[in-house]
Amino acid sequence: MSDEKTTTHFGYQQVPVHEKASRVRAVFDSVADRYDLMNDLMSLGIHRLWKRQAVELAGLRRGQRVLDLAAGTGDLCERFAGIVGADGQVVFTDINAAMLGRGRDRLTDSGLVGNLYYALANAETLPFVSDHFDCVTIAFGLRNVTHKQHALDEMFRVLRPGGRALILEFSQPVAAPLRRVYDLYSFTVLPALGKFIVKDADSYRYLAESIRMHPDQETLRAMMEQSGFERCDFFNLSGGIVAIHRGYKL
């Protein structure tokens, strides 16, 4: 029998808690070079619409400070930097050095400098002062965190009073027929794409499994409330395949 205090899930596997972060890191080391291409192929480009909706819900204004966790190749940061302007601050973080480097190179090549800062950081132990950011976001990253509640606690801590957190993440389709189609797609098409594009079917099999192990919409909202967030709500996109959760520090 596995000990919940010493093991956690990595997809459908149970692994020692101290190993999960390194296993997740290995997944993203493997896919970093083709990450953007795979996102477009897997979602048929719809991930761009999901991220656009998250940016709109963030409600950012010029001069505000934003922290983006698990920022990947910087899709959200790129948009945030333009909104908050030269007087604002966007902090791009990722636990994976390969993803952080790729994102930094991409944004630098795009000419985005000045209000963008980069940090290699674990969402569970953020190296930032309390009550600092107007908005904290994490897109398609929370499901990979070992202790999700710790990450939510940290997001709450670094937000200033009046600030808000947004979590864009794969979730649970609301209709049974959609769930069946989605399962078929996830466990057959995704690994096949991974094998063909990045020569790595296992990483995309993990992706499908990690989505199923992630808390559903109502459970994640309750977890946010446990961390202290108020006025928590969520917005289902694409029938619940993806959801955006939002909560405020009041």
Let me know if residue 240 belongs to a domain: yes
**94 annotated to bind ligand:** yes
**40 annotated to bind ligand:** no
> Which residues span the domain enclosing 116?
22-174+206-248
Number of domains in the chain: 1
What's the helix, strand, coil split of the chain in %, to 5? 50, 25, 25
Cα gap 101→106, rounded to integer Å: 9
**73 annotated to bind ligand:** yes
**123 annotated to bind ligand:** yes
pLDDT digits (tens, 9 = 90+) for 176-194: 999 999 999 999 998 888 8
pTM of this prediction exceeds 0.75:
yes
Let me know if residue 12 belongs to a domain: no
Integer CA distances (angstroms), 194 to 39, 63, 159, in order: 11, 40, 37
pLDDT digits (tens, 9 = 90+) for 24-80: 878 787 777 777 777 888 888 899 999 999 999 999 999 999 999 999 889 999 999
Let me know if residue 196 belongs to a domain: no
Let me know if residue 183 belongs to a domain: no
Let me know if residue 169 belongs to a domain: yes
Let me know if residue 56 belongs to a domain: yes
CATH classification at residue 152: 3.40.50.150
Let me know if residue 114 belongs to a domain: yes
Let me know if residue 201 belongs to a domain: no
